[in-house]
Structure 1
Amino acid sequence: MKCMAPRYCGLNGVSIDHTHQINRRKNSMDIKDIMNIVDMDDAKFDDKHLNRRQFLIGSAAVAGSIFLASCGGQSTTTGSGTSTTTKKYTIALVQGVKGDPFYVTMQKGAQAEADKLGATLIVDGPAQFDATLQTPIVDALIARKVDAMIIAACDKQAMIAPLQRANDAGIKVISVDTFIGNGDYTSGPVTFPLSYIGSDNVQGGMIAGQSIIKAIGGKGKIYIQNVKPGISTTDQREQGCKAAIQATNGAVTLVGVNYNNDSAATAAEQTSALLRRVPDLSGIFGTNLFSAEGAAQAVKNANKQGTIKIANFDAPVQSITDLRNKVVDIVIAQLPGEMGKTAVDYAVQALNGNTSGLKKRVPTGYVVIDRTNVDTPEAQNAIYKSS
């Protein structure tokens, strides 16, 4: 088994292992204040994922830091701990939405690992981030009798029943990017998935919020562009950003949250309307690719580049272009390639009967990019692929 530990990267591209803290504070905000605001239940995530996330890294980010067709096959283990197999398994990767560079990058990581381990990878996903469109895909893969299913569930509640059907059919289920239930696959209401592999999104939201607060000088008005309620990842990013705002004790106010249903065009319309209502807006947090792209377009249309600071979650090429052109000021890149790679490795191990070393929660980390480090190898490697 190869477990990809999350890394957080400093301004000069220096990797910081997630088990270490950054002791040097780089702004006046006390991170303990933020930690006290977020009402987190330590029992919710295995490995104490949420309650030992080393929030101190947020302060560094504020300063502009960069942060596997049947069972029973024989298996061996390589020197690095990664499973190999003599049985050719069929693994399905169900994306949250087709065409999103985030999921394209995840597919590339998954395909490379499947090729390495001798597995067949099937990739599918809905045209929109919608559980009603994702459910028939899951059911079709159940009928196809795939061996394992890696999925970015479009809804944490609506996708429980379809994935339970997959599990009941003997298919190994692994969550990537998003989770179902409350994400606690050890003792929560949903425990059948093998693992949840993805970023710590509360932390990411906090870092985004802190980044904007720093950029606007510690006071002003912030607006959040989000997808829709019920998506585990973006719900948590919103939560984290709100916590960062609340920690300012009124110096920064939240003027609104809009939900764009994963449409950049809708996000642009909503942001334009907000700008007319709040002309002195200081900053925007886009919780995903389309949210940020739409918000950035509205800022361009209003000729307010540089005046309104934008923190952008996810790192497609367009976001990096916007960063260079000073339309956005911070880009938080997840590591979807590592999510896909680790999930395929976990699926093969489980199919080979090697489950003792598999963790129920695997955080994959992120890289925070700004104009000071955008050309470093660390940042360039974190940019999402479009094909």
Structure 2
Amino acid sequence: MKKIAAALAAVLVSTTAVTAASLKPADITIALVYGIKGDPFYVTMEKGARAKAKELGITLVADGPSQWNPQLQTPLIDAMIAKKVNGMVAVPNDPTAMIAVLERASQAGIVLATADTFIGDGDYKKGTVTFPVAGVSSDNFAGGETACKALIDGMGGKGSLYVLVSTPNVPSDTLRRDGCKAAVEATKGAVKLAGVDYTQSNATTATNLTQAALQRDKTIGAVFGGNLFSAQGAAAAVRTANLQGTVKIASFDAPEEAIASLKDGLIDIVIAQQPGQIGAVAVQSVYDSLMGKTDIAAKVAVPFVTITRDNVDSPEAQSAIYKAK
């Protein structure tokens, strides 16, 4: 039995090697299933992915749900499976709910990488889910920590800091939240955490939550908005309360609206991810796997850019701004 199993394994390896060796770039189609349609972050990610696909001579197809919702994203991935794409870069809308459909893609022979967020615990070597070849994202914990350290400095190292992120379970959100909390904890009580609330990427919800927080705690000196909608909603509440300039705001993500708010003084710091680079690296990872390479990094952290009013016009900051079209 052992000899038979070994023989079968040898045939499988041989077949896989031949398939990889016989693939030509013109024959390869990679799907990008991004997080939410129309979001400048994902528009920029798609641009990076398409530029990389053009460089490699392969075809890229892309789609995403109208809302951040695994029930809306799942049929889009099933549609890509039905198209028999060779590879896929997915931005999972939920680390647990999206495992089943992405596993279906993997079982159909589609080489998979995740971008921006991950499935399982994100450890694709030894973790709970290991079928993706790579996970490519920003260092969200470090980004949240950096933003809140800057806010704490702007507060003079005292007062309360309020945190808004989109969801309590999406890894990118929780890592940003926890990075911010680490910055607060490092002050050893000089700065208090005024609370953490979840906006579901809705600016109106963020406004209402921030208004309630400002009424509840008069010592709030800063708000960390873990994505654009959270930060924009918080800025609206701060402006309504006539606390603009007094209550500092950091925004995670750098679409043009966030940069306009930065220049207008509504927002004080913007943490820019590099979604174009994330998309490009993820496509490269899938392509390399399809071509038979095995030394692919299972986890890649793409650096972010910190933008303030002092450096907003610098070439580095300008190149990091997300584009809506």
Per the TM superposition, whether the score is higher than 0.5 is yes
Amino acid at match of 1:159: M
Alignment partners' CA distance in 2, 1:153 and 1:290:
19
* Alpha-carbon distance in structure 1 between the residues aligned to 2:218 and 2:257: 25
Q: CA deviation at 1:300?
A: 2.0
Q: C-alpha deviations, 1:231-278, integer Å up to 9, x for none?
A: 011101101111110111111011111111111121112112222222
Structure with bigger RCO (C-alpha 8 Å, 6+ apart): 1
Q: 1:147 aligns with which of 64, 75, 86?
A: 86
Task: Tell me which residue corresponds to 2:200.
Answer: 261
Conserved? CA contact 2:144–2:178, under 8 Å: yes
Aligned counterpart, 2:312? 374
CA distance in 2, matches of 1:303, 1:384: 29
1:284 deviation in Å? 0.3
1:205 aligned partner: 144
Using the alignment, how far apart are the partners of 1:269 and 1:86 within structure 2?
Answer: 51
Q: Of the candidates 184, 187, 203, which is equivalent to residue 245 of structure 1?
A: 184
Letter in 1 for 2:40: P
1:60-75 matches, within 5 Å, as 72=20, 74=22
The residue number in structure 2 matching 1:78 is none
Bigger helix share: 2
1:276 aligns with 2:244: no
1:74 Cα deviation after fit: 4.8
Corresponding position of 2:296 = 358
**SS of equivalent to 1:253:** strand
Where 2:117 maps in the other structure, the secondary structure is coil
8 A contact 1:73–1:86 mirrored in 2: no
Q: Distance in 1 between matches of 2:205 and 2:64?
A: 22
TM-score (norm 1): 0.77
Percent identity among equivalent residues?
A: 50
Q: For residue 384 of structure 1, what is the aligned residue in structure 2? A: 322
Where structure 2 has 5 or more consecutive residues not aligned to the other structure, the ranges are 1-18
Q: CA deviation at 1:368?
A: 0.4
Report the CA distance between 1:73 and its aligned residue.
Answer: 5.9
- Secondary structure at the aligned position of 1:158 is classed as coil
Aligned residue number for residue 347 of structure 1: 286
Pairwise CA RMSD: 1.3
Distance across 2 between alignment mates of 1:372 and 1:86: 44
Q: 5+ residue gaps in structure 1?
A: 1-70, 76-84
Instruction: Give 1:279 deviation, angstroms.
Output: 3.3
Q: Which residue of 1 aligns with 2:127?
A: 188
Q: Distance in 1 between matches of 2:27 and 2:313?
A: 40
1:68-106 deviation per Cα after TM superposition (whole angstroms, max 9, x unaligned): xxx64657xxxxxxxxx5433111111111111110100
Q: Could you tell me which residue of structure 1 aligns to residue 167 of structure 2? A: 228
Q: 1:158 aligns with which of 73, 97, 119?
A: 97
- 1:57-136 matches, within 5 Å, as 72=20, 74=22, 85-136=24-75
AA aligned to 1:229 is: P
Partner SS for 2:167: coil
Question: Quick one: distance in 1 between partners of 2:253 and 2:321?
Answer: 9
**Contact 1:164 1:192 (8 Å CA) reproduced:** yes
2-structure distance, mates of 1:125, 1:73: 31
Q: Give distance in 2, aligned partners of 1:294 and 1:144.
A: 40
Matches of 1:248 and 1:351 in 2, distance apart? 48
Asked whether the 8 Å contact 2:25–2:58 carries over to 1, the reply is no
Q: Residue in 2 aligned with 1:290? A: 229
Aligned residue pair count: 307
Matches of 2:27 and 2:51, distance apart in 1: 15
2:258 to 313, 319, 330: 319
Matches within 5 A, 1:294-309: 294-309=233-248
What is the alpha-carbon distance in structure 2 between the residues aligned to residue 273 and residue 198 of structure 1? 33
Measured after TM superposition, the shift of residue 301 of structure 1 is: 2.2
In 1, distance between residues paired with 2:158 and 2:195? Answer: 16
In 2, Cα distance between the equivalents of 1:137 and 1:230? 22
Q: For the residues of structure 1 that align with 2:184 and 2:170, how far apart are their CA atoms?
A: 21
Give, in whole Å, the separation in 1 of the partners of 2:240 and 2:52.
42
Counterpart residue type for residue 322 of structure 2: Y
Aligned AA (2:240): N
Partner Cα distance (2:209, 2:72) in 1: 25
Q: Distance in 1 between matches of 2:38 and 2:102?
A: 23
